[in-house]
Amino acid sequence: MAGAELIGNEEIKEVMEVLETGVLSRYDFHDKRKGVYKVAEFEKAFADYLGAAHALGVTSGSAALKVALTALDVGHGDEVIVPAFDFIATYESVLEVGAIPVMADIDDTFNLDPGAVEKRLTSRTRAVIPVHMCGSAARIEEIVAVARKHGLLVLEDNAQACGGSVGGKKLGTFGDMGIFSFDYYKTMTTGEGGLVITDSKRLYDRADWYHDHGHDHNPAVGRAQEGRSFLGFNYRMGELQGAVGLAQLRKLDEIIAGQRRNKAALREALSTVPGITFREHVDPAGDTATFIGFSLPDERAARALQGELKDNGVDSIYYKENAWHYAPRWEHLIAGATANSKGYPFTSPLYTGTVDYSVEHIPHAEDLLARSLFMAVPVIMTDERSRAVTQGIEKAAAAM
Ligand SMILES: *Cc1c(COP(=O)(O)O)cnc(C)c1O
């Protein structure tokens, strides 16, 4: 549960500063707010932390994906390549802007395989969304190189590896745009919330306008007095979220350090399991360690280990059967069941391709996820809890 484990006086102090002014909106009310602009401060601090030029706070990670795809002008008739092992929001965001998500295979990082991008390429492909799942990076430099070769846009979904890096460069900053989620389960949290980052002023402006009904936020004339380029919607982050985000961001490196310590202890205990191999990391030094992933020689062994772990009080996740993280399990996606009765965008006359979510496109995901387990890594683990878990793992290992 990462950042949620550490909510305390720092978050309370930040939130109280907002409540003392009574101004809960990030915009306007300049004479009432006594210089308190938490969302703007959070955006600036987050962009500096990542080394990105621009950050825009929004209501959720899902909203961030939709705002970013809209800023990139991805839409009707387009295809967007996304990994088969993912959280469903990535697929939903593509459909929300009227485009079609195309499911692609993963590699031993458990993330999008750069080679699979080329396999799923068509004349309609506009963009690719690499997703850094379970705390650790995709082969992002290779994916960006493949995308550049074919003229594709890159939107990095970094909802799950906030603070992670490759070669010292923070995840989210490799593509044209990046997104983050701060929902309650993520590495740092604002309850609900998200953020879009980019180095492009043009893309930032488009995201900014779209996320607030087309307002261009020109400080010289004031909000709602300005010129408007296009229609938008409301995905504004509120001041209470911005306040919590500031306090959580200051704890982010501490969160990651705690997880890394606990992950090392889990890894040591798991090493006693016969035949175990660990998830491949593109850059182990940049792993945020929110999860530990490992594989067994076959499905039977993975299921047996999960049973033994459970009997010894240790929870693990078998993602191949998880309802939200593996595309072949999404019956509503496969049925083309969007929320409108006309079935858009799958039925759009602007879409000239054929939708195909069959598992023949993802042989590596089918094999790897069938024989792999994950465990969530806490930030805080008492010595007592740590002993109980490592002993549970060692007992399970001995039974294998
Ligand atoms: C959580 C998550 C999202 C969506 O974020 P919300 O803030 O919950 O809307 C998007 N992508 C991935 C990979 C996620 O894990």
Does any domain span residue 388? no
Cα 65 to averaged position of ligand 1 atoms, centre (Å): 9
Q: What pLDDT is stored for residue 323 in this prediction? A: 85
| Closest Cα to atom 13 of ligand 1 | 87
Of ligand 1's listed atoms, the one at least distance from the Cα of 193 is: 7
Does any domain span residue 191? yes
Q: What pLDDT is stored for residue 222 in this prediction? A: 74
Can you give the C-alpha Rg of the chain in angstroms? 22
Which position among 186, 251, 263, 320 bears the catalytic label? Answer: 186
Does any domain span residue 317? no
Are 289 and 377 in contact, with CB atoms under 8 Å apart? yes
CB distance 152 to ligand 1 below 6 Å: no
Q: What pLDDT is stored for residue 189 in this prediction? A: 98
Closest CA to 2 of 253, 366, 354: 253
Q: What pLDDT is stored for residue 130 in this prediction? A: 98
CB distance 89 to ligand 1 below 6 Å: yes
Identify the domain containing residue 48 by its residue range: 2-251
Closest CA to 130 of 86, 96, 165, 99: 86
Are 298 and 393 in contact, with CB atoms under 8 Å apart? no
Q: Tell me the one-letter amino acid at 317.
A: I
CB distance 62 to ligand 1 below 6 Å: yes
CB distance 181 to ligand 1 below 6 Å: yes
For a ligand 1 pocket test, name from 69, 87, 182 the mutation site with the most ligand atoms within 8 angstroms of its C-beta. 87
Does any domain span residue 325? no
The interaxial angle of helices 383-399 and 239-270, nearest 10 deg, is: 50
Q: What pLDDT is stored for residue 228 in this prediction? A: 83
CB distance 187 to ligand 1 below 6 Å: no
SS3 211: coil
Does any domain span residue 352? no
For residues 146 and 287, give the distance between their C-alpha atoms in angstroms, rounded to a whole number.
23
Per the annotation, the verdict on 186 as an active-site residue is: yes
Q: What pLDDT is stored for residue 41 in this prediction? A: 98
Of ligand 1's listed atoms, the one at least distance from the Cα of 182 is: 7
For a ligand 1 pocket test, name from 88, 129, 160, 374 the mutation site with the most ligand atoms within 8 angstroms of its C-beta. 160
CATH of the domain at 201: 3.40.640.10
Structure tokens at 106: 């993963």
Cα 126 to averaged position of ligand 1 atoms, centre (Å): 22
Q: What pLDDT is stored for residue 221 in this prediction? A: 80
Of ligand 1's listed atoms, the one at least distance from the Cα of 93 is: 10
Does any domain span residue 283? no
Total domain count, the chain? 1
Could you read off the pLDDT tens digit of each residue along the chain, which spans 400 residues?
Answer: 799 999 999 999 999 999 999 999 999 999 999 999 999 999 999 999 999 999 999 999 999 999 999 999 999 999 999 999 999 999 999 999 999 999 999 999 999 999 999 999 999 999 999 999 999 999 999 999 999 999 999 999 999 999 999 999 999 999 999 999 999 999 999 999 999 999 999 999 999 999 999 998 887 787 767 778 899 999 999 999 999 999 999 999 999 999 999 999 999 999 999 999 999 999 999 999 999 999 999 999 999 999 999 999 999 999 999 889 999 999 999 999 999 999 999 999 999 999 999 999 999 999 999 999 999 999 999 999 999 999 999 999 999 9
CB distance 204 to ligand 1 below 6 Å: no
Q: What pLDDT is stored for residue 258 in this prediction? A: 97
Q: State the DSSP string of 100-154.
A: EEEEE-B-TTSSB-HHHHHHT--TTEEEE--B-GGGS---HHHHHHHHHHTT-EE
Of ligand 1's listed atoms, the one at least distance from the Cα of 89 is: 10
Does any domain span residue 184? yes
Does any domain span residue 21? yes
Number of other residues whose CB lies within 10 A of the CB of residue 124 = 16
